[in-house]
Amino acid sequence: MKKFNSLLDAARFAATISENWHFANSDETYIKDTLLTLAKTSDGEDPIDEDSFYLVSLSGAIGLCPDGEDIDWLFLVGPDDEDLPSTYTESRELNFCPKCGYPIASGANFCDECGEHLF
């Protein structure tokens, strides 16, 4: 999972993984443009606390982690999202660039050595 400080940044990243989402507690569905508009509005009107962050799953689902531990999944992608974790544990293992093997910091978007875009 990848962490973000704003819903808009999380939605932009999720849009690289999936094309459709549904709201966790209703039948409302969203496509990329409507999700990005909603995220921008939400960030402007109701920004999250500095200790909170958003998470994007490997499937593109978006969740809010208000306390650094529990995850409230907001936008889901499909039936596999039933298996999403309910708590967040930050990985402390060292990551490496898949292109050049250079060690990378957790949460990095690009390799500092070769510039490879990381997911």
Query: Does 95 lie in the same domain as 71?
Result: no
Query: Does 68 lie in the same domain as 42?
Result: yes
88-94 long-range contacts (CB < 8 A, ≥24 apart) are 88/1, 88/55
- Is the pLDDT confidence value at 79 over 90? no
Cβ neighbours around 28 below 10 Å, total: 12
Give the structural domain span for 110: 90-119
Give the pLDDT mean for 42-52. 92
Tell me if 22 sits within 8 A of 32, measured CB to CB.
no
100-116 pLDDT, tens digit per residue, is 888 887 777 888 889 88
Q: Phi-psi region for residue 11, left (φ > 0), alpha (ψ -120 to 50) or beta?
A: alpha
Query: Does 46 lie in the same domain as 22?
Result: yes
Query: Does 95 lie in the same domain as 77?
Result: no
Q: Total domain count for the chain?
A: 2
Query: Does 96 lie in the same domain as 73?
Result: no
pLDDT of residue 111: 86
- C-alpha 34/C-alpha 22 separation (Å) is 11
- Is the pLDDT confidence value at 92 over 70? no
- C-alpha 43/C-alpha 20 separation (Å) is 20
Give the pLDDT mean for 45-60. 91
